[in-house]
Amino acid sequence: MNAIEINFDGLIGPSHNYSGLSLGNLASANNAGEISRPKAAALQGLAKMRLMMSLGLTQGLLLPHLRPHVPTLHALGYRGAPEAMMAQVWAEDPALARNLCAASAMWTANAATISPSADTRDGRMHVSPANLVTNLHRALEAEFTTRQLHLLFADPRYFSVHAPLPMHAAFGDEGAANHGRFCDAHGAPGVELFVYGDNPGGRFPARQTLRASQAIARRHGVRQPVFVQQANRAIEAGAFHNDVVSVVNQTVLFAHEDAFEDKAATYTSIRAAFPALHVEEVPTSAVPMADAIRSYLFNSMLVTLPGSTTSAPRMALILPAETQETPSTKAYLDALAGSNGPIAACHVIDVRESMRNGGGPACLRLRVALTEAEVAALDPRFLLTPEKADALERWIEDSYPDEIAPDMLGDPLLHRQLLTALDRLQGVLGLPDLYGV
């Protein structure tokens, strides 16, 4: 069956700031307390979406979450106008205030795990929003993400949107950042790769549990799941999600040599289910793990270009600019460009504001394979057009702060600006009352 892949990018929210909330994310930690540029961040993300459309690919978006997170303020007993509540929280508990203002929902690779209809026993697409229980600022995202996904995938004939897994560390689930799909074509039955972590006693937590991955595959009714373990040495080096050290697209696994705990067993397991596997492995001798993480080489997007065929795939890497500024990754990519493999093109983009907070091009998107009938059943308000991109650009220019310094998170004027910006966004996209404030 014919199908296309749509990337749903997270629209970077106006509260984008550097609070360093994510243990194990080295970029987030290294830039904690710096001055962020929310307007530049959102425009960089929108430019990436425009690039995807220019390549002939269908592009979607998911919206920023309500920040500050007013429901949590109310649940904790605060009362009054949101900006007044946040001023009080900042005075009493700055760490809590920083968690309530995070714009981390922009990384929609963590929004959900999605199994296309070609892979499932009931022939519907299944969606599991991630619970993100490892970090408080991310756990706050599950409810609003679920609400958006119910709007986007509303037709039960084609879609089944599940509740997040139980909110407990035993079922820690961080979404598609730890999930990939091998297939001959987007509409063909696929083999779904679930990557889990197990890093007891390590400096940094393993965020995706095997129990969570197994539960998602089970309730989605995935016909051919494969479960493999991320390398502990990669987690300890700062690869907090598997998409920091590998990326899958159709027949290709683009991965660092040290991405998986047992590399040989991983490749054998995948090939047993998907014999057409092509591994593009980057050796440590060419790109040390520290360089791969610093540049986010593997957090690039690997996409199939229009006009590709199963026998002659044409893929492109969408790379962060940092890969050109790191000598080892630039040398590797220069050599890759001259090879005869399936990766035919590289496009370098500037998403520095996201990168400085710990997320590259792949973090910013949730990829979804859909048939023509399923595309027609989507809520079109979540699909991007050039005209909608123009309207969003005007909204960003008019509504976003230019900068957020750390101590501004206690400023009532900033919080009023953030809430006003989101209120205006509802009108731009025709989604009234989405935020409820």
In a domain, 437, yes or no: no
**Which segments are annotated as binding site?**
19-28, 110, 137-138, 207, 243, 357
In a domain, 14, yes or no: yes
Task: Give me the sign of the Cα torsion angle 319, 323, 329, 332.
Answer: positive
Give the number of other CB atoms < 10 A from CB of residue 306: 9
Could you tell me the residue range of the domain that residue 168 belongs to? 3-429
- Model's pTM, two decimal places? 0.96
Phi (first) and psi of residue 195, to 5 degrees: -110, 125
363 in catalytic set: yes
Model pLDDT for residues 166-209, shown as the tens digit of each residue:
999 999 999 999 999 999 999 999 999 999 999 888 899 889 99
Q: Is the pLDDT reported for residue 94 higher than 80?
A: yes
Q: How many domains does the chain have?
A: 1
CATH code of the domain covering residue 353: 3.75.10.20
Q: Is the pLDDT reported for residue 437 higher than 70?
A: no
192 in catalytic set: no
Q: Is the pLDDT reported for residue 402 higher than 70?
A: yes
| CA 50 to chain centroid | 17
CB 95 within 8 A of CB 75: no
Q: Is the pLDDT reported for residue 1 higher than 90?
A: no
What's the average model confidence in pLDDT over 281-290?
Answer: 97
pLDDT category of residue 138 using cuts at 50, 70 and 90 = very high
Give the number of other CB atoms < 10 A from CB of residue 215: 17
Model pLDDT for residues 366-401, shown as the tens digit of each residue:
999 999 999 999 999 999 999 999 999 999 999 999
CA atoms within a 13 Å half-sphere pointing along the CA-CB vector of 430: 7
In a domain, 56, yes or no: yes
Q: In sequence order, which ranges of 163-287 are alpha helices (DSSP H)?
A: 210-220, 232-237, 263-273
Phi (first) and psi of residue 293, to 5 degrees: -75, -40
In a domain, 435, yes or no: no
CB 60 within 8 A of CB 111: no
What's the average model confidence in pLDDT over 151-156?
Answer: 98
Tokens of 348: 């370098």
- In whole angstroms, how large is the CA radius of gyration of the chain? 20
Q: Is the pLDDT reported for residue 121 higher than 90?
A: yes
Non-local (6+) Cβ contacts of 315 within 8 A are: 249, 250, 252, 302, 303, 304, 305, 308, 342, 343, 344, 345
In a domain, 434, yes or no: no
Q: What is the DSSP string of 357-388?
A: TT--TTTTEEEEEEEHHHHHHS-GGGB--HHH
In a domain, 263, yes or no: yes
Q: Is the pLDDT reported for residue 72 higher than 90?
A: yes
Alpha carbon of 295 to those of 276, 309, 312, 319, 403: distances in Å? Answer: 29, 31, 29, 9, 24
Return the amino acid letter for 60.
G
In a domain, 436, yes or no: no
In a domain, 372, yes or no: yes
pLDDT category of residue 311 using cuts at 50, 70 and 90 = low
Average pLDDT value over all residues in the chain: 96
**Which segments are annotated as binding site for substrate?**
19-28, 110, 137-138, 207, 243, 357
**Which residue among the candidates 174, 192, 322, 353 is catalytic per the annotation?**
174
**Which residue among the candidates 16, 241, 256, 415 is catalytic per the annotation?**
241
Gap between the Cα atoms of 187 and 183, Å rounded:
8
346 in catalytic set: no
**Which residue among the candidates 322, 363, 374, 415 is catalytic per the annotation?**
363
CB 220 within 8 A of CB 126: yes
pLDDT on residue 436: 80
